[in-house]
Amino acid sequence: MTADPTPGPGPGEVHVWRVPLDPPEPALAVYEPTLSADERARADRFRTGVLRRRFVAGRGALRAILATYLGVAPGRVAFAYGDHGKPRLDGDGLGSRLEFNLAHSHDLALCAVARGRAVGVDVEKLRPVTEAVRIVGRYFTPGEQAEFLSHPEPDRVAAFFRGWTRKEAFLKVTGLGLSAGLDSFEVTLGAGGAALLRVGDDPAAAGRWTLRDVDAGPGFAAAVAVEGELARVTVRDREPENRSGKV
Ligand SMILES: CC(C)(COP(=O)(O)OP(=O)(O)OC[C@H]1O[C@@H](n2cnc3c(N)ncnc32)[C@H](O)[C@@H]1OP(=O)(O)O)[C@@H](O)C(=O)NCCC(=O)NCCS
């Protein structure tokens, strides 16, 4: 039996779900049978039990979240994949036009959901990065490098992960991943808010997307990117008691 679908994101809105990836065993036992055969095969290829369980928790929660919007059982949610591996709902997603993206870091995943336009999300656990200056020098644009180096040492971990998650969210909204080229676009790194400053050589291109920071909770940096304007990011928790997998 399925309940009425949960209202999806309205125009100009993105829903971001925070999903703990180390849920109690009973939640995993509900999630696992909802996975497709290829997802279960992927789960079995992880080298450690922790990584396997986190993959099952992420994909299981993703299915459960999308199922509540679609009004179907989680096992009925069907995915297709872009040329660079970005998952999407198969066909037109039962007419929903829902778009989503998933990201995980350590014990947390974020699932971003938009309607009728592409969305990308990234999350990173804040941690010391011993080679931050080298990584920034190699992967960030000259403008991003200058902004990073303008931060005093104690602020650099936060600036690094703000920049990283903002860049990654943009890579993921396009679906191109690293094939897009990390120097082909530029973001802000400051605490004053995320912005896409440049995309390629077209001065109008950056205005076709919106980049926002997401409150993923203490100890994490996160960002979301969408096609077009973004009025509101609504962050929700996927609570353990809701993880029955039933809709
Ligand atoms: C998949 C990719 C886009 C992100 O990988 P990642 O950072 O390791 O992992 P994340 O947790 O952010 O995202 C993984 C999820 O993104 C989704 N995904 C996979 N390919 C994707 C693509 N091409 N575009 C958007 N999303 C994609 C999947 O749902 C995947 O999770 P799942 O396999 O459990 O379903 C990767 O191909 C990539 O390009 N990584 C860039 C890493 C990097 O160097 N970033 C530098 C930023 S400065």
pLDDT digits (tens, 9 = 90+) for 127-143: 999 999 999 999 999 99
The whole-angstrom separation of Cα 187 and Cα 143 is 9
Ligand 1 near 58 CB (within 6 A): yes
Ligand 1 near 102 CB (within 6 A): yes
Which pTM value belongs to this model?
Answer: 0.94
pLDDT digits (tens, 9 = 90+) for 84-95: 999 999 988 888
For residue 62, the ligand 1 atom closest to its alpha carbon is 35
Q: What is the pLDDT of residue 146?
A: 97
Ligand 1: residue whose CA is nearest its atom 14? 103
Where the chain has pLDDT below 50, the residues are 1, 241, 243, 245-247
Ligand 1 near 171 CB (within 6 A): yes
Q: What is the pLDDT of residue 1?
A: 45
State the distance from the centre of ligand 1 to the C-alpha of 103, rounded, in angstroms.
7
